[in-house]
Amino acid sequence: MKMTAIRTLCLLFLVAGSALADDSNNEWISMFNGRDLDGWKVNENKDSVKVDDGMLIIDGPRAHAFFAGSTGNADFKDFHFQAQVKTTQGSNSGIYFHTEYQDSGWPSKGYECQVNNTHGDPKKTGGLYGIQDNFEAPAKDGEWFNYDIIVKGKHIVVQINGKTISDYTEPEDAERNGEFKNRLVSSGTFAIQAHDPKSVVYFRNIRVKKL
């Protein structure tokens, strides 16, 4: 092999190695310890969010578990969120991002990523609720599925079991009305929703990486 080719290969390896090193600096942050609600703050109906056998269990009337982290003021802008989710027959939940704690009601700030495979609401898992909805369930009740949310700038991607369900770029001049007026890309924390007393949903292996 000629010396110039060897130098080229060495340069390529150095560039690749540098890229991998940069990526490794963005470490995954575990959001849920599997034992208790340390790092989370639940609002109006605290008993609707429980922990058992390594799972965050959503079961009861409306409530939202907001991720506060170790500092009590978690804040994310560009990120990759991952969780494993299992729904039950007729259940409904959601994962909010770029939101903030509020004492009651549906979170008024940030996007909601839908969790619903067989609930009567036609808006199904993986959609950006009220913005880019999905009407075909990509997973089944009673089976764990992987839920990924990736946000970079104004670009939002939601994947279920590795399949992209939502791919949305918020317009620069986006305007929302009514209850969705603050459903905009910004920064903030995450919240997991207890929707109603008949909706039982399980979450585990919840983590996030800043991008």
> How far is CA 26 from its chain centroid?
17
Identify the domain containing residue 194 by its residue range: 29-210
pLDDT tens, residue by residue, 122-136: 999 999 999 999 999
Domain of 51, CATH number, reads 2.60.120.560
- Structural domains of the chain, count: 1
Of the candidates 64, 152, 76, the one whose C-alpha atom is nearest the C-alpha of residue 115 is: 64
**pTM of the shown model:** 0.88
Q: What is the mean pLDDT of residues 140-158?
A: 98
Residue 22 lies in a domain: no
Residue 133 lies in a domain: yes
Residue 115 lies in a domain: yes
State the pLDDT at residue 26: 82
Confidence of residue 5 (pLDDT cuts 50, 70, 90): very low
Residue 35 lies in a domain: yes
State the pLDDT at residue 25: 59
Residue 136 lies in a domain: yes
Residue 52 lies in a domain: yes
pLDDT at 2 over 50: no
Residue 197 lies in a domain: yes
Residue 64 lies in a domain: yes
